[in-house]
Amino acid sequence: MEPYALDERLASDSQSLAHLELCDVRLARDSRWPWVILVPRRPDVSEIFDLSEEEQSLLAQEQVHVAKALKAMTGADKINIAAIGNVVRQLHVHVVARFEGDENWPRPIWGHGTPVPHTDETFNQMANKLRGLLQ
């Protein structure tokens, strides 16, 4: 079995904020929505049921931890949580803060348009706030 390695596209589209017990918690490099991606640090995992039951339970807890932090930080109208992976098959879970009237509201964010980069300043501000809330 290969050791765990992060998919190249996930690596380029997001930046690591924190390592929780199971997941690498990453902030997407896209300013259109506050958007976090959790990647379980396990090799050869594509579906949630490829994880052990203990890991599935950790993933569920870590998703909720991130969702609460994103809600607290943004006051979002709705948190969207999804494991899709049709393009990047390495298991990853999106946790996204949505607001009425935001880009593509109320439709989903995935596959919509082109990423709009953050400035370094706004990215770092958001990253620092989230890191604080995740501790």
Which residues of the chain form contacts with its own copies (CB under 8 A)?
46-49, 56-57, 59-61, 63-64, 67-68, 71, 77-87, 89, 98, 105-108, 110-111
28 Cβ contact partners less than 8 Å away, ≥ 6 residues apart = 13, 14, 35, 36, 37, 115
User: CA torsion, points 82, 115, 65, 59, in degrees to nearest 10?
Assistant: 40
Token output for 53: 């039951």
Q: Nearer to its own copies by C-beta: 48 or 73?
A: 48
Q: Nearer to its own copies by C-beta: 17 or 91?
A: 91
Task: Collapse the DSSP code of 20 into the 3-class scheme (helix H, G, I; strand E, B; otherwise coil) and give the result.
Answer: coil
What is the closest distance, in whole angstroms, from the C-beta atom of residue 120 to its own copies in the complex? Answer: 30
What is the closest distance, in whole angstroms, from the C-beta atom of residue 29 to its own copies in the complex? Answer: 20
Closest CA to 34 of 65, 78, 64: 78
What is the closest distance, in whole angstroms, from the C-beta atom of residue 61 to its own copies in the complex? Answer: 8
63 Cβ contact partners less than 8 Å away, ≥ 6 residues apart = 38, 81, 93, 95
Q: Nearer to its own copies by C-beta: 5 or 64?
A: 64
What is the closest distance, in whole angstroms, from the C-beta atom of residue 2 to its own copies in the complex? Answer: 20
Q: Nearer to its own copies by C-beta: 4 or 105?
A: 105
